[in-house]
Structure 1
Amino acid sequence: MKKVTTLFFSLSIGLLLASCGNSDEEKKAAAAAAAGPQAYPVFTVNAQNTELGSEYPATIEGIQNIDIRPKVDGFIQKIFVDEGTVVKKGQLLFTIMAPQYEQEVRTARAAISSAEADVNSAQLQVNKTKPLVEKDIISKYDLDAAQLTLQSRKAALAQAKAALANAQVNLGYTSITSPVEGVVGSIPFRTGSLVSSASTEPLTTVSNTSKVYAYFSLNEKQLLDFSKTYKGNTLAQQMKNIPAVNLILADGSTYPQFGKIESINGQINTSTGSASLRATFPNAMSVLKSGGSASVRIPQHVSNAILIPQKSTIDLQGKKFVYVLGDSSKIISTEIEVMELAKDKFYVVTKGLKAGDKVVLEGFQSLKDGVKIKPEVKSTESVYAGIKK
């Protein structure tokens, strides 16, 4: 009997709590219905011309990076420049102490003096023999022999002069000058260091950075998109139609001067699956350094673009949705398609929206499709105010 009474009491308490719970939910629903639709910010979508920019990591190189190497063996006698010095073409950089080449010059000059004396002696012999032959005092054979001797002495003199020129060239290699105008790189050697023409490390590098090359890569898909974006029957024609590009520096700032894409490698690297491109930028103030890193930004103009704030979209199973305000202030969950490139914090919509549609701006996490809301209209100017032109 006690068990039956206890069971009856428990069931009574459960039914009472359930009725109270249902009552609370009904009260909340009734309160929400009495309060009316909830307010949400809404803005009107419009079409506008905009410019997108795709960025690609790049490495910077001077238009000339010349390794300065010794052509003769010896000790560094003097260094005339410091690292980072701007030098002109022909400016002296290093001198190498190599006395053997000075000795070769002296030896060659002495050989020339000896050869000149031999030539003079042979010439005298020819001059003495010639009239004797003409008077038939001696045979013509003697004159021929004297002339051959003179010819041999002249050849020896020419050889001695060539040896002197070669010795002077080698001696000239002991003074190393800059082949181009540019900036001196690191100098790993110091005065007194032994250097050789077989050394793997250069004395320094002179970089001509009056202009710089920015090298970057595009994968196969990007190359195909690239070729479809810019008109032209040939690659050269397409490159002419590519607009000027920007350079984004390592600190995030934009280089003040524009560059131009001048080269596209026609072959895809099989190991990386990409092709290399080269953009050229002026660098009169030497702001850009050879070996630096940056990003090349290629602009793309889009006419009558539908822009939507990224915060106004919902990602669901790999698709994007927005809430569009429909008739009777009811919202409609609408799927949209967007371009891969974004404009600041805005998506460029290619499908799903049109100019004049009203979209819920934000705060819609608890919304459901078909719910009636109270729209709070936001001005189009305030929504699109953050877009960079």
Structure 2
Amino acid sequence: MSRFKPFRINYSYVLFFTIIISLNITLNSCSQGSGKNNTNEKKLEVPVFSLKPIDIEVPQTYVCDIQAVQFVEVRAKVEGFVERIFVDEGEEVKEGQPLFQLTSIEYSELVNSARAKLMQARAEAKSAQLEVERLQVLVDKDIYSTSELELAQSKKDMAESAILEAESLLKHAQTGLSYTTIRAPFNGIVDRIPYKTGSLVKSGDLLTNITDISEIFAYYKITENEYLQYMRGQLDTAVDEEALKQQLEENLQEDEEEITLILSDGVEYPHKGKLETMEADFETGTGSIALRVRFPNPDGLIKHGASGKVQMTNTMEDVYLIPQKSTFEIQDYNYVYMLDENNIVNVRSFRPIKRYGLFYLVEGFDGGDRVVLEGLQLLQDGSHVDPKVEDTDEVYRSLNLSL
């Protein structure tokens, strides 16, 4: 018995495909016949504007680390119990004001003992002096030999050295006693106080912090490229990196540019800062270098350790502005439609320097290059269009840009 079934032709399917093929042939013939009229169809009208080079001040922001102009850890220098706390957390203090009192009985006794030894040494020195004077009279009368006088003089010298030792011990004891009273090193604000009255503290234990926030420092980092770009803008000729650093330090002393601080809530700080100095070396690994800005803080609004952003202005010359709506992005590249002298659309890729509002800042274009403003979804590379010329300044104004 045969394993295979006889093949049967389904004539309904054959008829269906025959009709489809006939329709395709007919449509193609019609389209070819009407191709002569395509050239007479109306071209797509698109708005275009011309690029022009401009000089513009671009704000740049950098995350910064905010520190008090003075921040000191107050630590115990001697061991003892906290006897009294004279201040409270968050309180303003003056330089030399007492902050803490540690137990001082032991150190007071050391002072008394050292003072007694000093008195004893002085008495022994005085006695030795009298002995020398007495023997001097007897030697002058040839009653005693000079050896007796020399021995007495040696005892006097030993007594005087004992005075110096006793004075040193007294000063050391007095210094230890003074360490039991901890005072403010400068005018500032008291931070948290971890040890309370009665607590045992050892030498080196942290009692509190004192911060002077009358002024604050904002540290921020720039890349090596930004550093070189800034410096070469200050110099007429390119020089080696070490000379650039030296020149920057000189410029910082003369630079009157006011720098803005943006606080963590996004509000601009009312007082402007002054760029003061920079680090000596680039940071290994990141290739960045830190700069320091000083801001006044008369109201004490900013605290040590706060966060914010430093905003500076960078003047860029001969750059071009392309609206973001005139571009499209594919992977890591941005593209724009441009028109040649025959009004043919050409696609061009570019890498923006940075964003600026609703624009991209770009280089590498030429003044007068025509760019399609909008309607990109209707275009394709090689299309022949009818340009509607837009005034460049009006395009910028419509996108909230004032030049």
Q: TM-score category by the smaller chain?
A: 0.7 to 0.9
1:365 aligns to what? 377
Q: Which amino acid aligns with 2:371?
A: V
**1:259–1:311: structure 2 CA closer, same or farther, 3 Å change rule?**
farther
Q: Which amino acid aligns with 2:210?
A: V
- More displaced 10-residue stretch of structure 1: 219-228 or 245-254: 219-228
2:279 aligns to what? 264
1:56 aligns to what? 62
1:312 aligns to what? 326
1:237 aligns to what? 247
**1:85–1:386: structure 2 CA closer, same or farther, 3 Å change rule?**
farther
Matched, 1:345 2:358: yes
2:310 aligns to what? 296
2:110 aligns to what? 104
Q: Which amino acid aligns with 2:273?
A: F
Matched, 1:114 2:129: no
Matched, 1:135 2:141: yes
CA-CA distance at 1:167 after TM superposition? 0.8
**1:7–1:165: structure 2 CA closer, same or farther, 3 Å change rule?**
closer
Q: What secondary structure sits across from 2:273 in the alignment? A: coil
Aligned partners of 1:247 and 1:295 also within 8 Å: yes
CA-CA distance at 1:171 after TM superposition? 0.6
2:211 aligns to what? 207
Aligned partners of 2:128 and 2:156 also within 8 Å: yes
Aligned partners of 2:353 and 2:362 also within 8 Å: no
CA-CA distance at 1:337 after TM superposition? 3.7
Q: What secondary structure sits across from 1:259 in the alignment? A: strand
Q: Which runs of 5+ in 1 are unaligned?
A: none
Q: Which amino acid aligns with 1:315?
A: E
**1:8–1:111: structure 2 CA closer, same or farther, 3 Å change rule?**
closer
Aligned partners of 1:323 and 1:331 also within 8 Å: no
Using the alignment, how far apart are the partners of 2:147 and 2:192 within structure 1?
69
**Superposed CA RMSD:** 3.8
Aligned partners of 1:56 and 1:217 also within 8 Å: yes
Aligned partners of 2:194 and 2:208 also within 8 Å: yes
- More displaced 10-residue stretch of structure 1: 110-119 or 234-243: 234-243
Select which of 57, 62, 73 maps to 2:79.
73
**1:7–1:145: structure 2 CA closer, same or farther, 3 Å change rule?**
closer
Cα deviations across residues 290-328 of structure 1 (Å, max 9, x unaligned)? 222333344321234321112211224644332335567
Aligned partners of 1:68 and 1:205 also within 8 Å: yes
Q: What secondary structure sits across from 1:89 in the alignment? A: coil
CA-CA distance at 1:73 after TM superposition? 0.6
Q: Give the structure-1-normalised TM-score.
A: 0.80
Aligned partners of 2:216 and 2:297 also within 8 Å: no
Using the alignment, how far apart are the partners of 1:45 and 1:341 within structure 2?
17
Aligned partners of 1:76 and 1:192 also within 8 Å: yes
Aligned partners of 1:88 and 1:182 also within 8 Å: yes
Q: Which amino acid aligns with 1:172?
A: S
2:297 aligns to what? 284
**1:111–1:17: structure 2 CA closer, same or farther, 3 Å change rule?**
same
Using the alignment, how far apart are the partners of 2:117 and 2:13 within structure 1?
133
Aligned partners of 2:82 and 2:198 also within 8 Å: yes
CA-CA distance at 1:77 after TM superposition? 1.9
**1:154–1:63: structure 2 CA closer, same or farther, 3 Å change rule?**
same
Q: What secondary structure sits across from 1:203 in the alignment? A: strand
Aligned partners of 1:215 and 1:276 also within 8 Å: no
Q: Which amino acid aligns with 2:303?
A: K
Using the alignment, how far apart are the partners of 1:252 and 1:8 within structure 2?
73
2:393 aligns to what? 380
Q: Which amino acid aligns with 2:310?
A: V
Cα deviations across residues 7-40 of structure 1 (Å, max 9, x unaligned)? 57535764687699889x99xx9xx999955554
1:172 aligns to what? 178
For residues 244-263 of structure 1, the aligned pairs below 5 Å read 244=257, 245-255=259-269, 256-263=271-278
Using the alignment, how far apart are the partners of 2:12 and 2:282 within structure 1?
87
Aligned partners of 1:217 and 1:277 also within 8 Å: yes
**1:336–1:4: structure 2 CA closer, same or farther, 3 Å change rule?**
closer
Using the alignment, how far apart are the partners of 2:10 and 2:175 within structure 1?
122
Q: Give the structure-2-normalised TM-score.
A: 0.78
CA-CA distance at 1:129 after TM superposition? 3.2
CA-CA distance at 1:353 after TM superposition? 4.1
